[in-house]
Chain A
Amino acid sequence: MTLLAPRLLAARNAYRGHPRRMWVLGVLAGLFWVGSLVLFVKVLGYFQTIGEFGPLLTQRLLLLIFVSFFAVLLISNTVTALTTFYLADDVNVLLAAPVSRRRLHRARFVETLVASSWMVLLFGLPAFLAYGVVYEAGPVFYGATVLVLLPYLVVPTALGVLVTTGLVMVFPARRTRDAMLVGVGLLVAAIVGVIRTLQPEQLAHPSGLAGLAGFLAGFEATGSPYLPTTWAAEVLVPLLGGRDGDPLFHFAMLVSTAAMLYVVSATVVERVFLTAWSRAQTGRVRDGGGERPLSRWLERLARPLPRIPALLFQKDLTVFLRDASQWSQLLLLFALVGIYVYNFSVLPLEDGSPLGRAMRDIATVLNLGLAAFVSTAIAVRFVYPMVSLEGRAWWILRTAPVALRRVWWSKFWIGYVPLVGFAALLIAGTNGYLAVPPVLTAVFLATLVPLMAALVSLGLGFGAAYPRLDTQNAAQIATGFGAILYMVTSLTLITLVMALEAWPTWRLLRYYRAPEAFGTGEMAGFAAAYAAAFVAMVAAFVVARRVGLRALERLPI
């Protein structure tokens, strides 16, 4: 407990420092939680109604939940253990203190478990609760869920600690982290891709369920009786009253395995910790060699730019390409874009039915907003962290003879050009699928120019107002409180712009399907709608820029 005190006290101080922030986060988490619960209850309830087939489906789904969470937990524990055991600065202090390795392992184990598992608990508990609600289970089920979750969480933590220790013994810690981050990026992209290709929208049709059932039947392979995920599911399913089973036996299997793995991880860490820790302290030093090619390429690329933007462009891109926590997120981005475009390619638009036409029109009206939303998801990962990533080295720019507004503009262009280009490609590509008239595509593209400017300005503004200078992990920065506020604000702006432009877009679409002259009042309405949208975007840009500049001035050094 003594070794965990610094973390607990830091959490308490963070709460005391920003009570309002914590409340906002609490409310958002609560809303998400309740929303998820309602959704799970609805979906499970719907499955249960499908005759005798339903309960089997929901039981398989419970196993699927355990297996998916286990995979996520294994990855997140491995990455977290690397930080808590081998990269955290305070390990130095603990090693120098009269603290046994066993105590050190225990404290770091708990820290790793909590840090890696809280998110899963947040997502997972509504699912388990929903099972209880739908099956009208008794209190034993809820109690058992809590009891099962503990050893269920311990198993991936122990495995994560063991995997990390093994990796650190072989590779330097920084390389290990880079490799892991890329692995995680690939895995998440793959998971997102697989879920999408399952075409969950088909579940809306009863015939589509056959596909899901087929998938779940194929899933049988992962239900091996030797896996902790199976044991966890086997404890809960009989308690739901779904079918007979031996919950006590499976619970004992789970607990004993968790205990055994914990002891193994403690023993291994106790034996090799100092060696592993020492190896983790070394970075990779190149064997000789001259100037790196990346410097030369970027220098050539930046040559046409003015001095300060060129310097910041070279510096930011060099850091980006050398930091796996940043560039590995591109993998996720590719997956996201692939899915977005794929969605449009599978829309049943060409069947000639009135439904097909209506869907095409709705998709067209929404396309601008959806593309902007995808762009925001990208901006929160690449634009929002820009200020935080300056980190403790911010003094270098602040003490240089460069005005802050020039730094701001440089960062703006570095974020804006790729983002607006990307959004334009997305719109042009998907509008192609929807056979949207070129004039309307031009209107969308013209909207993107100020909209992306506003989104980038908001990203920099919120990024500067809620800096995370303590971490150099871009993925972690993008999940902070400011990032949530940024997303919410951006979505509000996008919705507003979309709402203002929906009617003119709709009307233009109709015009191209069946030409019919516009009235003067209509034309004035169009102008007013577009003007209002433009004003909203410009206002967001200007206000965010002002807030951002002020926050940059006050950024701690």
Chain B
Amino acid sequence: MIRFAGLRKTYGPLVAVDDLDFEVEPGRVFGFLGRNGAGKTTTIRMMMGLLEPTAGTVTLDGHDIAREPEAAKAITGYLPDRPNLYDKLTSLEYLRFVGGLYGLGTHDAKARGLSLLEEFRLADRAHELIETFSHGMKQRLALAGALIHQPRVLVLDEPIVGLDPQGAVELRRLLGRLAEAGVTIFMSTHSLPVAEELCHRIAIIDRGALVALGTLAELRARAAGSTAGPRDGEPGVAASLERVFLDILEADAA
């Protein structure tokens, strides 16, 4: 469903993303992990056509984002790490606008917008200007915007940041439901419990390069193999993703 082929981005001598080559299967939740500045957001931006790669391609459902950007974007929903929206629009006006951009008719966009506002606990603020919203509310509204056209691929950049505990739980449930419905989800996150709970496969990126890729079990096995053995009080087989993550990054740095 999503395919990275030799994706690379350099800024002069700095290599931000280094030859990414992997695929994400349809209907799967894919976790994209890495430290701050590892290249996650740069990768996602290239994936959404917001940044031109130095080399390589990203294909979304068979559409190369560089060659057929409109076709690729039409089936994709995107939530950026900072959801800057049009402050002077109301939340319903925003959703109707975004729906229209994705080809929904006026009435469909309105009906779908109202139902999403209900789902994201924003129905009572449908006619309020976005400038009066908190960060978490904007985050939920931006996610509603990403879902308005019922995308087949959902790209989320740090979706948990800014959400309250209730919002975070609801988001996890929603992503689970979407994946069951066949939506492919590509998610960068710092929240390892979320990745652990939701992701079918996980990629770890460090200094722009892919350092690990697999299911959580595969990553655990790899981490166990790359370290001297289980640490105090941490059985190697059932090690948390946090431990696995740190072990892999340490092994990669060594």
Contacts and interface: CB of A to CB of B under 8 A. Distances in A.
Contacts of B90: 292, 295
Interface in B216-238: none
A396 B127 contact: no
A314 B101 CA distance: 12
Given A283-B129, A285-B132, A323-B88, A398 B49 contact: yes
Interface string B100-135: 111100100000000000000000000111011000
A486 B116 CA distance: 43
B132 A399 contact: no
A318 interface: yes
Given A299-B106, A311-B101, A402 B70 contact: yes
A71 to B, nearest CB: 30
Interface of B is mostly: mixed
B32 interface: no
Given A315-B86, A398-B49, A399-B78, A286 B98 contact: no
A283 B131 contact: yes
A411 to B, nearest CB: 14
Nearest to B86: A393
Given A318-B93, A399-B78, A401-B103, A290 B98 contact: no
A513 interface: no
Contact of B127 (A283, A290, A314, A399): A290
Nearest to A402: B101
Contacts of B76: 399
Nearest to B99: A311
Contacts of A315: 86, 89, 93, 97
Contacts of A401: 69-74, 101-103
A392 B84 contact: yes
Contacts of B69: 401, 403
Nearest to B90: A292
Given A399-B48, A399-B73, A401-B73, A286 B127 contact: yes
A388 to B, nearest CB: 14
Most chain B beta-carbon contacts within 10 A, residue among A285, A308, A391, A393? A393
B241 interface: no
Contact of A403 (B48, B70, B84): B70
Contacts of B128: 285-286
Contacts of B131: 174, 283
A397 B101 contact: yes
A291 interface: yes
A284 B132 CA distance: 7
B82 interface: yes
9 contacts: A283-B131, A292-B127, A319-B89, A322-B88, A393-B86, A395-B50, A396-B145, A400-B73, A401-B102
